Structure 1
Amino acid sequence: MLAGACSAMPLVYAAEDLTLPAMQIEGSNEYVDAPSVGYKGNPASSTTRLGLTDKQTPQAVTTITRQALDDFKITGIKDALRSAPSVTVEQTETDRTEFTSRGFDINTFQYDGVGMPFVGTVLVGDQDLAEFEQIDILHGANGLMSGAGNPSATVNFVRKRPTETFQAQVDTRVSSWDGRRVDVDVSGPLTSTANVRGRFIYSHDKGNSWMDRYSHERNVAAGLLAFDLSDADTVTVGFSQHNSDSNGSTWGNLPLVDNDGKPIHYGSRSSSIGQPWSYWNLHTQRAFAELKHEFGNGWNATLTATGINEKQDTNMMYVAGVSGDEASVFAAHTTSEAHQLLGDAKVSGPFSLFGREHELTLGAAYGRTHQKAREYDAVEGGYYDVSFPDVLAGNLARPSFLFTSDTNTQNFSDTQKSLYAGARFSLADDLHWIVGARMLSLDASGDSYGSDYYTRAHGKVTPYTGLVYDLDKQWSVYGSWTKIYSAQYNLGADGKLLAPLEGKSMEAGVKGSLLDNRLNLTAAAFKTEQQNVAEYAGLVDGRYVYNPMDYKSHGVELQASGEALPGLDLLGGYTYVRIDNDDGDRARKYVPTHSVRGMLTYRLPSLPKAKVGTRVSWQSAVQNDNNSAIRQNAYALLDFMASYDIDSNWSTSVNLNNVTDRKYLLSLYNSATTASYGAPRNVVASVTWKY
């Protein structure tokens, strides 16, 4: 079994909605769960678990709002996180992506605050954003909310909900490489009193690519119903189907050096190792039910249960090495199926102590995954030699995929249980202490491609604490400290599972809310530590083995979001990060030391129906950790947009991406000596109808 095999890599699961009703926290001019306006996001209550606003949270928070997503026609999470300050998108294959922040892997995607970490820090496919109102990124470690994960960032998808008034939107667009997409979103009351509400969301996205032979089709359908059983009780149920089908998919990417370490040059950025018979199909069904109850006096409870079923079917090929015109490849057909059950119960509200009002949250969470997979290889032993020019031309014949064995299977269960508690104490009118902890238990058993998939860890406590001091109504300073614990399923060189990954994060910063709270500013300094990080050490009997490494990182983040001037919306920031190993030498050099991300739009005063904007992404040079000849120089990407409101219902827009036609590599993640080129200049044109 090849270590990069799709069947050995994780599936991505989603847990569903868990939010509190909109409420106001004492001393704040902002409402928790209030709708985001323009580019100034209000983090959802589920993002911090304690229902805090951005200013009240002792960590940096980034919110990518629905307005920003619509302005720049961002439809997938990979493109969205490319716009988020401090996040680096490492697209290592056509259909698998890693993300890093503050030098470490992001391995926690949550959906309205609930979810289990990835089993390997990788996203399969691309999470379509049609179902979501905004994306919140909580920077740094988050032991209280996540329990298991990395001291990097937590990404929380905030789901759209049924509305009390009728609204509808249809968006159609065409783009370069025969791309076309249609989005439909209809929501409103189903009874005269609006005590029953519904929402239907549909999206169809299909197109080719700048990469030879690669194409995709995504179909999303989601339905939600909300029932007000009484003034105090609301039940919400929902179901979604997400189908992602890709052809010409790649396992790994273009080899950048041959077996002798000499660079390989490609004549076109469209070059790809994907074959006409390679594909990656991912179909996911999610169903959830949620009950919210208001006890009165500010106390409320939320109970949610979610079931997910996910199937994958793939034909894939990997180029293991190149010598002259000959390539050693590994090809396999893999099918897998996973079932997941998630549950979360939470109660929160105010309480009085020593003459002051404070906030308390108590909760419990449960998650169980059962995954099965089988792989059929092209040849016995896995590897065989082919012509490398034929690989690039897509001329390889489809193998028969006849060879399998007991070591070419997965069958394991993974269970996580936790109890958590958190409080926001008002020590003084202008000083607040946030403290909490999560007690985590992990149990896993089964096998994965001939190796035991096992862990047992009970009573692991991940604490969280932070202070926020309000200098005045506009400015506050803060500091926080938190830990992370996560079991690992990577094999060490001795054939045993690596020790659990542990880490901690410290952060201090200042936050401001200016221009009548229309503009948020954040400046943060951070220091993170991580032990037992799995670093690729080579192939043993066709499987990846890893060495445990310790790393430290430190850096600075600057961010602004909101309306800087009348009609001028922006979200942008600068990040500096340095990662060092135990010897104090710079490590993980594929993470840029300096990066700038920004989106800006301006509604023209002389032509108020027109809006223009730009998106910029710049990063400093990066290189491969093992071969300094594999290097990506500093580069910037520049996008333009223009939109026009024809009337109150109709609008049209044009987006021009990578306007300078910059040639660049998508990623040099980890020790990989493969990469593909990013998209050249391209255009998106759309027409939107709203009611």
Structure 2
Amino acid sequence: MDPVVVVSTALRINAPLVETPRSASVVDRQELDTRNVQSLDESLRYRSGVLSAPYGNDNDADWLFVRGFEASTYLDDTRLYRDGYYAWTLEPFGLERVEVLKGPASMLYGEGYPGGVVNAISKRPTAERQGLFELQAGNRDHRQIGIDSSGPLTRAGDVRYRLVGLYKERDGELNGTDSERYYFAPSLEIDVSEDTTLTLLGSIKHDDAVPTNGFFMPYGTLVDTPYGKVDRRTNLGEPGYDRNRHTQTSLGYQLEHRFNDTWSYTQNLRWSRLDLDLRSTYANYIDPTNDRNVVRGLTYRDGTTDSYALDNRFVGHWRSGRFDNTLLLGLDVQRHEYSGNEFDSFNSAAGSFGEPLDMFSPVYGRYQPIDPNEIDYREIDKTQGGAYAQHRLKIDDKWIFLGSVRYDRVKTENANRTSGETLERTDNNTSWSGGVMYLADNGLAPYVSYAESFEVLTTYDPATGGLYRPLEGEQWEAGLKYTPPGFDGYLSAAVFDLTQRNSLVTNPDTFVQTQAGEVQSTGLELEGQAQLTEGLTLTASYTYTDATTDETGGQGTQRAGIIPRHIASAWLDYDFNQGPLTGLSLGAGVRYVGTSTDDPRYDTPKVPSYTLVDAMASYDVDENWRLQLNVNNLTDEDYISACNYWCYYGESRSVIGSVAYRW
């Protein structure tokens, strides 16, 4: 391992992780390959502060909670918007690494979730010619073929390419569900001059699936019934009717120019389009006339989102005597446009979709297609312009002082073209952050930091007749990072206090939401990675999170739903480097997720804790060929991952074998 881990997400400049007064984590390509990661939320399972896949194995979206809140997703430093069911998903085969900045980040990224930023970095062209061809097969009819080729296109090496492609199909966790995906991502890197490099990036991903609607009622999962428990593979949707056709297209570039030894310039531009055709039937509530049955609802979306992001960054770095300065100046513009048809059964005349379904012996086909007269056509536009500045001052190679400020102007428009109603709102926001860190000779680096966030909502506020005000986040953090001399790895500890204001509170009688709530998350995070011996590597983490909310409709402050107080994980790798077993690698991991609660508005029992075991074995036949087997949830644990009115079964055992040829 390289003990000096460099990250760019935390400060928008390349800086050693140990010299960053914020909590951040990195998952590199080697670890993604070792664990054969199949989704973005799976990539961060062994990092502190992150709750991965609380809604089970969802083939519609990636779900990550960081420090008790959702986190914004970025690709190559540009925002991937999530607008309701229009959620951009990433293919891990096309990524070089995943970085996560924990806690508010509006001072550098603009409006976003208070949990932080998950920034995925795409595979880029390489100076050396290399390639990968991989075949995979596994349970649930998993089949995958992937190719990754990269290298110079010219003899001088000033033009380089990379082609990444994948085809994958697999059955879902529920009966009658499946997914099929193809992915293609070309990129080209051109040295325009000694000081200027242009990287062109493109990708297209298409998913054609029967969605995994893992919405189960507490009755039949956590709560016993006279009829037993509902099997975790039971499909309470409508497998012959439901569908999820999801196409993502992205084009962009990164321009890097060095003016002199002090100043450099980076520009990122990306256009992204998401086309969605979704029909998703789900369990809504228990039939009051027959508790074997569940009344179902339907969500329908057929539309397109277009996103444009342009970010300009000037970085100046100079040293004067005892002082080492890094100044970041940035200006960015983001625009997100949504247009499409939508229907939700709870807004329809019937209030439900089809006849009730027997949870224990479902019979499908008893439904009526959507009435076209009940479909609304909606357009939502969000435009953000921001200017930001950050100064990092290092004194005597011991003290680090960090200060950041950003100003944003966000204009939002939500128009129901069917009803003719249009709502508009403009918000101006200034975000601040700061931090102090001390670098001791023995490798200890204590720090303290402050950060803010704001999140712009696009939905209707019945109390004001307009759009909701932005949610505001604020965090204090203190931590200690440790990289002792001669130690190949790192250890880190952080305590944090994160508060979100203007949260939505639902009136239990009228079900109308008003902005009168506050959510607070305080906790402790421990994380470390170490090369214990020449062949033995350990990655371990522990998270304690106390998340509370007063979004309870008059019930007072209570424990927030979904978020467990305790999460712990450990992964151990051993590589045989000599003897008859040379080339063999073994890995095993344990993940513990503590008890959690349902949304405080509902009277559901606590969700029990669960412990999962993962395992890996690989063998390098020679310098080119590798055989590998990965098993997640080795014991096939049957567990509930979380509840928030609905309850969600966690992922069952996954077995995938792969054969890879590298050159």
Flag whether TM exceeds 0.5 (same fold): yes
Partner SS for 2:15? coil
Alignment-mate amino acid for residue 414 of structure 1: K
**Counterpart-to-counterpart distance in 2, 1:280 and 1:304:** 31
The aligned counterpart of 2:69 is 104
**Residue 218 (structure 2) aligned to one of 256, 273, 277:** 256
- 2:535 is the counterpart of 1:567: yes
Greater mean deviation of Cα atoms: 680-689 or 227-236? 680-689
* Segment drifting more, 94-103 vs 271-280: 94-103
SS at match of 2:236: coil
1:676 and 1:528, CA in 2 relative to 1: closer, same or farther beyond 3 A?
closer
For 2:299 and 2:438, the matched residues in 1 are separated by 57
Q: Is the deviation greater in 176-185 or in 193-202?
A: 176-185
1:676 matches 2:648: yes
SS in 2 for 1:255: coil
| Number of the residue aligned with 1:556 | 524
Q: In structure 2, do the counterparts of structure 1 residues 353 and 461 end up closer, same or farther at CA, with 3 Å as the change threshold?
A: farther
Label 1:377 to 1:680 Cα distance change in 2 as closer, same or farther (>3 A): closer
Note if 1:400 corresponds to 2:369: yes
User: Any conservation in 2 of the 1:642–1:653 contact (CA below 8 Å)?
Assistant: yes
Question: Is the counterpart of residue 167 in structure 1 residue 137 in structure 2?
Answer: no
The residue aligned with 1:446 is 414
SS at match of 1:55: helix
Q: Amino acid of the residue matched to residue 461 of structure 1?
A: T
User: Quick one: which of 580, 590, 593 aligns to 1:619?
Assistant: 593
Q: What pairs up with 1:337-416 in 2 under 5 angstroms? A: 337-352=304-319, 356-375=323-342, 380-384=349-353, 386-389=355-358, 393=362, 395-397=364-366, 399-405=368-374, 408-416=376-384
Which one-letter code corresponds to 1:643 in the other structure? S
Q: Which amino acid aligns with 1:290?
A: Q
Quote the Cα distance in structure 2 between the aligned partners of 1:377 and 1:422: 45
Compare 234-243 and 445-454 and name the one that shifted more: 445-454
Change (3 A) 1:125 1:118: closer
1:171–1:328: structure 2 CA closer, same or farther, 3 Å change rule?
Answer: same
- Residue 598, structure 1, aligned to residue 561, structure 2: no
Q: Which residue of 1 aligns with 2:303?
A: 336
Instruction: Name the counterpart of 2:435.
Output: 466
Paired position in structure 2 for 1:237: 200
8 Å CA contact 2:559, 2:597 repeated in 1: no
1:244: how far off? 1.6
Question: Are the counterparts in 1 of residues 412 and 425 from structure 2 also a CA contact under 8 Å?
Answer: yes
Residues 376 and 441 (structure 1 numbering): CA distance in 2 closer, same or farther, change over 3 Å? closer
Residues 546, 517 of structure 1: alpha-carbon distance in 2 compared, 3 angstrom cutoff: farther
Cα pair 1:380 1:403 within 8 Å, conserved = no
How far is the alpha carbon of 1:103 from its aligned partner? 1.8
Judge conservation of contact 2:78–2:270 (CA < 8 Å) in 1: no
Conservation of the 8 A alpha-carbon contact between 1:204 and 1:220: yes
680 and 45 in structure 1: CA distance in 2 versus 1, 3 angstrom threshold:
closer
Change beyond 3 A, Cα 1:440–1:253 = same
Aligned partner of 2:273 in structure 1 is 309
Counterpart-to-counterpart distance in 2, 1:384 and 1:151: 35
Q: 2:493 maps to which residue? A: 523
- Whether the 8 Å CA contact 1:41–1:63 is kept in 2: the answer is no
Whole-angstrom distance in 2 between the partners of 1:510 and 1:249: 41
Per-residue Cα deviation, 1:455-501 (whole angstroms, up to 9, x for no partner): 2013x110110011011152211110011122223444535433221
Partner of 2:39: 76
Q: What is the one-letter code of the residue matched to 2:301?
A: T
Does the 8 Å CA contact 2:168/2:180 hold for their aligned counterparts?
yes
Which amino acid in the other structure matches residue 168 of structure 2?
Answer: D
**1:265 & 1:393 partners in 2: Cα distance?**
15
User: Partner residue of 1:610?
Assistant: 584
TM-score calculated relative to the size of structure 2: 0.91
Deviations along 1:572-614, one digit per CA (max 9) or x if unpaired, are 2100111234598442142110111232211135423111111
Determine if contact 2:444/2:480 at 8 Å carries over to the other structure. yes
Question: Is the CA contact 1:332–1:401 (under 8 Å) kept in the aligned structure 2?
Answer: no
CA distance in 2: counterparts of 1:184 and 1:309, whole angstroms? 24
State the distance in 1 between where 2:180 and 2:79 align. Answer: 26
Tell me whether 1:274 sits opposite 2:232 in the alignment.
no
> Would you say the 8 A contact 2:446–2:479 is kept in 1?
yes
Q: Quickly say closer, same or farther: Cα 1:140–1:72, change in 2 above 3 A.
A: same
Greater displacement, 462-471 / 553-562: 553-562
Q: How does 1:129-208 map to 2 (within 5 A)?
A: 129-208=92-171
Tell whether the 8 Å contact from 1:184 to 1:203 is kept in structure 2 after alignment: yes
Give secondary structure in 2 for the equivalent of 1:145: helix
TM-superposed deviation, 1:42: 2.7
Greater alpha carbon shift after TM alignment, 196-205 vs 136-145: 136-145
| Deviates most, 354-363 or 262-271 | 262-271
Length-normalised TM-score, structure 1: 0.87
Aligned-pair distance for 1:41? 8.0
**Partner in structure 2 of residue 506 of structure 1:** 476
User: Are the structure 2 counterparts of residues 595 and 377 from structure 1 closer, same or farther at C-alpha, using a change threshold of 3 Å?
Assistant: closer
Percent identical? 22
Q: Are the equivalent residues in 2 in contact too, given 1:666–1:677 (CA < 8 A)?
A: yes
Question: In 2, distance between residues paired with 1:445 and 1:493?
Answer: 16
Specify the alignment match of 2:24 in structure 1: 61
In the TM superposition, residue 216 of structure 1 has moved relative to its aligned partner by 0.8
| Matching residue's letter, 1:153 | G
**How far 1:126 sits from its partner (Å)?**
4.1
Higher alpha-carbon deviation: 676-685 or 363-372: 676-685
Please state how far the C-alpha of 1:446 moved relative to its aligned partner: 3.1
Q: Distance in 2 between matches of 1:394 and 1:544?
A: 35
Instruction: Say yes or no: does 1:648 pair with 2:612.
Output: no
Taking structure 1 as reference, are residues 597 and 206 closer, same or farther at Cα in structure 2, changes over 3 Å only? same
Counterpart in 2 of 1:286?
Answer: 250
- Which among 630, 634, 641 is matched to residue 609 of structure 2? 634
Greater mean deviation of Cα atoms: 193-202 or 439-448: 439-448
The answer on 1:216 being equivalent to 2:175 is no
Structure 2 match to 1:16: none
Give 5+ residue unaligned stretches, structure 1: 1-36
Per-residue Cα deviation, 1:511-567 (whole angstroms, up to 9, x for no partner): 111463520110111111110123555797xx9745541122211100002423222
Q: Which amino acid aligns with 2:431?
A: T
2:545 counterpart residue number: 577
SS of the residue corresponding to residue 210 of structure 1 reads: coil
Residue 159 of structure 2 aligns with an amino acid whose one-letter code is V
Map 1:43-62 onto structure 2 (within 5 A).
43-62=6-25
* Separation of aligned partners in 1, 2:353 and 2:458: 28
Deviations 1:383-426 (A, max 9, x none): 245132279635124633233357x2211211011001111112
Q: Residue 105 of structure 2: SS of its match in structure 1?
A: coil
Aligned residue for 2:106, secondary structure, equals: coil
Q: For residues 425 and 626 of structure 1, what CA distance do their matches in structure 2 show?
A: 47
Specify the SS of the correspondent of 1:404. Answer: helix
Q: Which one of the candidate residues 453, 458, 461 is aligned to 1:489?
A: 458
Assess, with a 3 A threshold, how the Cα gap between structure 1 residues 538 and 314 changes in structure 2: closer, same or farther.
Answer: farther
Aligned length: 642
